[in-house]
Amino acid sequence: MRQMQKHSLSLTLLLIGAASLIIVGCAPASAAAPQAAAPTVAANAPAAAAPLPDTISVAEAATKREAGAFVLDVRQPDEWNEYHIPGSTLIPLDQLETRLSEVPQGKEVVVVCRSGNRSQPGRDVLKNAGFTQVTSMSGGLKEWKAAGLPTVAGP
């Protein structure tokens, strides 16, 4: 008799444990035991940030450049050689779609041109390719230079 009670108690405890697992497994995440969140971003990519505004001022672009943003110049080589932002990268707008691999993912990108007209379509090419941290500088390099910000000449 005692053996049967012991077996019945073990079976009851086993059933209670199984029921608890089922209940916890079906409960909302807040009621369940804490679990590690599934990664949503590649391990080597930075945490997702809010998208940048479509257009920023020359002053904002200068601040982003100083903070390490990738400055993408979409003008033509002859314009680039005349003057450009130090540390910027030249990829002419008509080549951008075929050279997307040269633009870093997961880093803020500021697209610039002479007056601001080509930087907007350049920004849109990048956005359509999945870049979220991309913006266009209004006023272009004409305004950048007029503000007395640094430029260099040559290739």
Annotated catalytic sites, by residue? 113
Where is 129: in which H helix or E strand? none
List all residues 6 or more positions away from 134 whose beta carbon is below 8 Å from its beta carbon. Answer: 52, 108, 109, 110, 111, 123, 126, 127
DSSP line for 20-76: HHHHHHHS-TTTSPP-PPPP-S-TTSPPP-PPPPSEE-HHHHHHHHHTTPEEEE-S-
Residues 51, 47: Cα–Cα separation, whole Å: 12
